[in-house]
Structure 1
Amino acid sequence: MDIFIADFYCHQARLVIEVDGKIHESQKEYDRGRSVELERFYIQVIRFSNQEVENNIDNVIEKINTAIINRLKSPPWGI
């Protein structure tokens, strides 16, 4: 496994949150591969664009909260 630096990580939910700028438009395949690698360790990656965060933060927060609740309610890694 490569070493990855996540924008945000919630260990309890094993959830990575990425906020993607324009650079990610040219590295979609790399980002997909990175997500697949992290999923091997039951880590889910959710992505938001800079524009989503800047223009619709309430929706971003709602999606993050939903992801955390769902993962804690039914963790894919077992308890």
Structure 2
Amino acid sequence: MSEKQILTNIDGIIIYRNFVENLPYNPHLKRLTREKRKLGILSEVLFWKQVRNRTFHNIDFDRQRIIGNYIVDFYVKTLGLVVEIDGSSHDFKQEYDSGRTKFLESLGLKVFRITDFDVKQNLSLVMKDLEDFIIENFS
């Protein structure tokens, strides 16, 4: 068994890499991914400003990443972590979101969901919750 690789640390707690290989990819979603990036949904832009360029504990986040037949809001390749920001469009899609989460988890990924409202109203708490989630799942 290979030794776990350290990715970073959060408040002195070691965070280990959890790279999930060979994720399915639907190339037909590429154009839509570019369009979604350009849309600039406020909560996504606010969150992105907190994590881009490894500014959040030196962790590399991708924005609008294709996994299977889905486009996830944010993805951390080195952790196998999906971050989804649920806005009002998700209010009546609980079944869809549940199926999507089950699919992503079946690939060995962890899914962290936050609301659009929380990102806009209490971003510091969202970032603390994300730290706690990463510590809980990857330390």
- TM-score bin, normalised by smaller chain: 0.7 to 0.9
Q: How many residues align?
A: 73
Equivalent residues of 1:13, 1:71 under 8 A apart: no
Once the two structures are TM-superposed, the CA of residue 63 in structure 1 deviates from its matched residue by: 1.2
State the partner residue of 2:112: 46
Greater RCO (Cα-Cα under 8 Å, separation 6 or more): 1
State the partner residue of 1:25: 91
Look up the equivalent residue of 1:5 and give its one-letter code. Answer: I
TM-score for both structures, normalised by structure 1: 0.82
Counterparts of residues 1-79 of structure 1 (less than 5 Å): 2-73=68-139
Whose strand fraction is larger, Structure 1's or Structure 2's? 2
The CA distance in 2 between the partners of 1:57 and 1:18, in whole Å, is 14
The percentage of aligned residue pairs carrying the same residue is 33
State the partner residue of 2:47: none
Once the two structures are TM-superposed, the CA of residue 33 in structure 1 deviates from its matched residue by: 0.5
The CA distance in 2 between the partners of 1:13 and 1:29, in whole Å, is 26
Q: Which has the larger radius of gyration?
A: 2
Alignment RMSD (CA, Å): 1.4
Look up the equivalent residue of 1:67 and give its one-letter code. Answer: F
The CA distance in 1 between the partners of 2:105 and 2:113, in whole Å, is 14
Q: Which runs of 5+ in 2 are unaligned?
A: 1-23, 25-67
Once the two structures are TM-superposed, the CA of residue 15 in structure 1 deviates from its matched residue by: 1.0
